Amino acid sequence: MEGTGVDVNTPVKTTVGPSLKLQRVLAMILLLCQGGITVTGSLVRVTGSGLGCNTWPLCHEGSLVPVPGAAPAIHQAIEFGNRMLTFVVAAAAVAVTVAVYRAQRRWHVKLLGLLSIAGVALQALLGGISVLVNLHWWAVAVHFLPSMVLVWIAAVLYMRISEPDDAPVVTRYDGSARTAVVVAAVALSFVLVTGTMVTGSGPHSGDSGVGMEGRLALDTEILAYVHAACMYIYLISTLVAVYQLRRSQAPMDAFNTALVLVAMIVVQWAVGVTQFYLGVPRWTVPLHIAMSSVVVAFSAFLWAHGKRRMA
User: How much is the pLDDT for 162?
Assistant: 92
Helices 284-305, 252-278: axis angle to 10 degrees equals 160
* Residue pair 226/270 in contact by the 8 Å Cβ criterion: no
Count of beta carbons in the 10 Å neighbourhood of residue 235: 19
10 domain residue, yes or no: no
User: How much is the pLDDT for 214?
Assistant: 61
1 domain residue, yes or no: no
79 domain residue, yes or no: yes
CA-based Rg of the chain, rounded to a whole angstrom?
20
* Residue pair 76/235 in contact by the 8 Å Cβ criterion: no
**Strand-pair partners of 60:** 63
Contacts 24+ apart (CB under 8 A), 292-295: 292/38, 292/148, 292/192, 292/195, 292/268, 293/34, 293/35, 293/38, 293/39, 293/147, 293/148, 293/151, 294/35, 294/264, 294/268, 295/188, 295/261, 295/264, 295/265, 295/268
User: How much is the pLDDT for 3?
Assistant: 46
* Residue pair 95/26 in contact by the 8 Å Cβ criterion: yes
User: How much is the pLDDT for 35?
Assistant: 95
248 domain residue, yes or no: yes
How far apart CA 99 and CA 304 sit, in angstroms, is 21
Supply φ then ψ for residue 15, to 5 degrees.
-95, -20
User: How much is the pLDDT for 138?
Assistant: 83
5 domain residue, yes or no: no
3-state SS, residue 266 = helix
User: How much is the pLDDT for 307?
Assistant: 92
Cα–Cα nearest to 153, from 42, 252, 307, 35 = 35
75 domain residue, yes or no: yes
Helix (H) or strand (E) holding 169: strand 169-171
Helix (H) or strand (E) holding 309: strand 307-309
How far apart CA 83 and CA 305 sit, in angstroms, is 34
Count of beta carbons in the 10 Å neighbourhood of residue 283: 11
Count of beta carbons in the 10 Å neighbourhood of residue 49: 24
3 domain residue, yes or no: no
* Regions of the chain where pLDDT drops below 50: 1-3, 6, 8, 10-12, 14
12 domain residue, yes or no: no
Give the count of domains, the chain.
1
Domain with 117, as residue range(s), is 20-309
**Do strands 169-171 and 307-309 pair parallel, antiparallel, or not at all (unpaired)?**
antiparallel
User: How much is the pLDDT for 277?
Assistant: 86
Residues 6+ apart with CB under 8 A from 222: none
User: How much is the pLDDT for 140?
Assistant: 84
